[in-house]
Structure 1
């Protein structure tokens, strides 16, 4: 199998994840703007999750272009990443419906933490295909965003039991860190 088939499959799964999340919204009973107020927590959790899925989609797209040879290991690691990402709609809905109660928010952070670890494993497997001195490996070695994100997810999960506002701060912080797409891979592709 070629890497573009894995990318196409992953793109489809991520599109379904986003679709499932938006289908969780139920139309309010009333017909005024104030009737949307009750959806506030669901909308906020959807915005977080949409941003995270978009970040993974963007970075996955760039990363897959660095695959030299497709292997069973890469396919399984990609599926592991998609597994954790596929749980985002469930945790998004639970967190939004519970108005950011501690357990749903902590579970949301845990799922994001596990997705970030799966992405790191996938990235490392691709890096092993490149020579130790290649521009790609050197660029990826400075992955401060990838090292910081799991730590922030862990803190978000632990602080969920203190305050949803504190957890929310860490979720926003990860989003801000990744909002600007990672240009390292783009630079490597452009130079070669």
Structure 2
């Protein structure tokens, strides 16, 4: 049993490290203006908004990942691989964030940004289903928790897909829809208990 827990702890530690590197890469994209006046900061608003939103989104993703990892006692090979796929998708956030910022929230970058969140959410849904299925079989818990988690994740996925489509014609609204969809993931314990 202790070796299984060590494996789960190692998977969690590795994932935490990847999230930390991703957040660090995003901050490295921020460049201070050469001008000494506060007015020089105004043209940087796309960077500030993109960075703040992406950082918040990484925090929400990490919190949900951390919450789910508490239920993993013995990670299967499938769970390890879907964890890597999920982290791989999240690792594109610094690139997408920089493109959104450089273009002042233009349509194509926001479409890509929303599309990235579609991919992240699909990987998360698979990850979440595997973790909760193992937890349910281990504790004989009812399917209510899994249904609530699945329903919430599918609503979030629909929000990201909508944001991607809306961003084609109204990129700032699409960007806002991305933020709105992720609000549903702010409280991971609303389906999983303590």
TM-score, scaled relative to structure 1: 0.90
**Residue number among 131, 141, 152 corresponding to 1:135 in the alignment:** 141
Which deviations, in whole Å up to 9, do the C-alpha atoms of 1:91-118 show, x marking residues without a partner? 0000110111111110000111100100
> What 5-or-longer segments of structure 1 have no aligned partner?
none
Say if 1:131 and 1:137, in contact at 8 Å, map to a contact too: no
Say if 1:109 and 1:153, in contact at 8 Å, map to a contact too: yes
**Residue number among 80, 83, 107 corresponding to 1:78 in the alignment:** 83
Which deviations, in whole Å up to 9, do the C-alpha atoms of 1:64-87 show, x marking residues without a partner? 111132221111000000000000
Say if 1:59 and 1:181, in contact at 8 Å, map to a contact too: yes
CA distance in 2, matches of 1:136, 1:77: 24
2:24 counterpart residue number: 19
The alignment yields a C-alpha RMSD, in angstroms, of 1.8
Kindly tell me the number of residue pairs found equivalent between the two proteins: 187
2:180 counterpart residue number: 173
2:62 counterpart residue number: 57
1:182 counterpart residue number: 189
- Give every structure 1 segment of 4 or more consecutive aligned residues whose post-TM-superposition deviation is greater than 6 Å: none
Say if 1:95 and 1:105, in contact at 8 Å, map to a contact too: yes
TM-score, scaled relative to structure 2: 0.89
Question: Does the C-alpha gap of structure 1 residues 175 and 128 become closer, same or farther in structure 2, counting only changes over 3 Å?
Answer: closer
Which deviations, in whole Å up to 9, do the C-alpha atoms of 1:18-46 show, x marking residues without a partner? 11111101110111211111110011111
CA distance in 1, matches of 2:142, 2:65: 15
